[in-house]
């Protein structure tokens, strides 16, 4: 258990004079914030972070000149075709500061060896019926809906609240389409007002997502600028602090997919793709991908912030996007969705609930 059990030496039940009468003990963590940024592998961002399992590569321009190919076919040939560049602390100083003050996971993998949409769906359902981005993946109206269990529905069944701030992949899930959907900018307002749901999925607008630019972005210098994207993330964290929610919030910052950048650590091959002749569109009509590595995909960074996140800690435990769902399930006492989250680690090594609560980050 993460914080739904009483941590040693720390009382979590109601105080004297408070509400008793058989109420459940208070959790140390009441709010989980999952901030999902775009398209950067671990070595590409944290390869030079002292103490992490990283590799030094040539420095990337900021923003990158183009969006590297990060589809499944490119992933399969990544050792010879992936872009061998990285950013350094001067580009993303707040992320390095967060890693020093709190926890950085350097053995954290994406759950699909491919692009954004399958990994976004994994972050909601611990499942993905697809290994490619659908043709109209950011406008899913008219696309096939998937009738699969999800963490948001588990939260609802338990009487808990959730929110989708700016995410598009929820609309691919039949039971979630159009539900609890807010503009990206709404998160900052809600957090600053101290009014967040139990679990928030938070996505930046395109020009702050850190997604490298493509030809359609010509003329917008902010798209792909990782420093600009980092500052957007800082603003969201600061809003949580401003709203007084820091003492009872866990914040995870991760990146949805590998982005076409080389990472020197090979991910474990625990699940292979199965081509479905009845639904050939689910792998873009690539039957030759049958039997290729589906899970895990490449390493990405994951920062863990909060009053009980370990300080100056680098987690070597095997984590993935599904681990964030498992964290929520453990925290709130929810059932597993499938075998993936049942077997996943729940991020508990990143926390110490016996320590005095840490002060919020100083980066502004």
Q: What is the pLDDT along the chain (364 residues), one digit of tens a residue?
A: 565 433 333 333 333 333 333 344 468 999 999 999 999 999 999 999 999 999 999 999 999 999 999 999 999 999 999 999 999 999 999 999 999 999 999 999 999 999 999 999 999 999 999 999 987 766 656 677 899 999 999 999 999 999 999 999 999 999 999 999 999 999 999 999 999 999 999 999 999 999 999 988 988 999 999 999 999 999 999 999 999 999 999 999 999 999 999 999 999 999 999 999 999 999 999 999 999 999 999 999 999 999 999 999 999 999 999 999 999 999 999 999 999 999 999 999 999 999 999 999 986 6
The pLDDT value recorded for residue 16 is 34
Tokens 């729940």 label which residue? 346
| Domains detected in the chain | 31-350 (3.40.720.10)
Phi, psi of 239 (to 5 degrees): -65, -40
The predicted model scores a pTM of 0.93
The pLDDT value recorded for residue 266 is 98
The pLDDT value recorded for residue 139 is 63
Q: Note whether 142 and 341 are within 8 A (CB).
A: no
Phi, psi of 295 (to 5 degrees): -145, 130
Phi, psi of 146 (to 5 degrees): -105, 125
């Amino acid at each position: 258990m993460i914080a739904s059990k009483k941590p040693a030496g720390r009382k979590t039940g109601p105080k004297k004079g408070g509400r008793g009468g058989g109420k459940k003990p208070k959790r140390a963590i009441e709010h989980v914030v999952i901030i999902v940024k775009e398209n950067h592998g671990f070595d590409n961002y944290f390869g030079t972070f002292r103490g992490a399992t990283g590799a030094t590569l040539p420095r990337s321009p900021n923003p990158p000149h183009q969006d590297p190919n990060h589809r499944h076919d490119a992933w399969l040939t990544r050792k010879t075709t992936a872009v061998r560049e990285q950013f350094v602390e001067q580009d993303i100083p707040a992320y390095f500061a967060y890693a020093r003050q709190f926890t950085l996971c350097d053995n954290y993998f994406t759950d699909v060896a491919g692009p954004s949409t399958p990994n976004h769906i994994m972050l909601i359902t611990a499942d993905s019926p697809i290994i490619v981005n659908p043709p109209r993946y950011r406008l899913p109206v008219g696309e096939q809906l998937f009738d699969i269990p999800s963490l948001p529905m588990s939260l609802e069944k338990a009487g808990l609240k959730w929110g989708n701030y700016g995410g598009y992949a929820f609309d691919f899930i039949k039971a979630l389409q159009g539900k609890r959907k807010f503009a990206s900018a709404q998160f900052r307002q809600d957090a600053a007002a101290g009014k967040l749901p139990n679990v928030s999925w938070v996505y930046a607008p395109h020009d702050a997502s850190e997604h490298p630019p493509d030809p359609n972005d010509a003329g917008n210098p902010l798209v792909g600028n990782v420093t600009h994207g980092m500052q957007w993330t800082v603003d969201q964290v600061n809003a949580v602090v401003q709203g007084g929610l820091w003492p009872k919030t866990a914040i995870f910052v991760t990146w949805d997919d590998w982005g076409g950048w080389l990472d020197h650590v090979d991910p474990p091959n625990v699940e292979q793709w199965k081509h479905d002749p009845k639904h050939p569109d689910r792998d873009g009509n690539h039957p030759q991908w049958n039997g290729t590595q589906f899970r895990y995909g490449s390493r990405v960074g994951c920062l863990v912030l909060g009053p009980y996140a370990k300080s100056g800690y680098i987690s070597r435990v095997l984590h993935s996007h599904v681990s964030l769902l498992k964290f929520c399930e453990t925290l709130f006492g929810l059932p597993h969705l499938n075998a993936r989250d049942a077997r996943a680690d729940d991020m508990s090594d990143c926390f110490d609930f016996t320590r005095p609560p840490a002060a919020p980050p100083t980066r502004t």
